[in-house]
Amino acid sequence: MQYKIKDLPESERPRERLRNKGPKSLSDAELLALIIRSGTENNNVLEVSRQILTEYNLEKLSNASLNELKDFHGIGEVKAGQIKSLFEFCRRFSQNSQEKAEKIKTYEDALDYFRPALAHKEEENLAMICLDSNNRVLNKDIENSIIAKGSIDKVNVEFRRVVKKHYLVSISYQFSDFLDQSSSVSSSTQCSRFN
């Protein structure tokens, strides 16, 4: 007979451990168990979580489709949606954090900038970052920064694609800068008319 979570000593239950020791004290399986909340008739939620994490590491789990997640016994549409939503929320948080780091001064800064968007990709991606003269990022949409996608271990790209992408980013930045300047001139002109 399988044990239930409530059969565990209180000190070993994920929810109680979270409350008493904080989230860093929990294993990946315990964290996942808190997300999906319930198990099956034969397996408690911790066992279901362990089965998932035995087959999928965190990176693969973050890229799993709803249908792939629903292949696990005990994971239906709602729980699969909870798992997908969790990873999307984490991606958005990472992207938001990275957008705050506006300047790229070193190779490590560039890695930190691209990591949240590209680390989970299963194929190689060539992405380009365009900076202004103060090392501020011009092309903030990382998905649009991808120039080429390759295979598992390589990516081929024509030089003209790099030049074209740089040209488009540069033109769009100059145009948006021009619009910002013209709108401030326009608003100051309007203000002077009312004075």
The separation between the first and the last C-alpha atoms of the chain, rounded to the nearest angstrom, is 84
Burial class (CB in 10 A: 0-12, 13-18, 19+), 32: buried
Per-position pLDDT tens, the chain of length 195: 467 888 888 888 999 999 999 999 999 999 999 999 999 989 999 999 999 999 999 989 999 999 999 999 999 999 999 999 999 998 887 776 655 556 888 888 888 888 877 877 888 888 888 788 888 887 777 777 788 888 888 888 887 777 777 667 666 666 555 455 544 433 333 333 333
Is the overall model pTM greater than 0.85, yes or no?
A: no
User: How many Å apart are CA 50 and CA 42, to the nearest integer?
Assistant: 14
Delimit the domains of the chain by residue range: 1-100, 124-195
User: How many Å apart are CA 76 and CA 92, to the nearest integer?
Assistant: 24
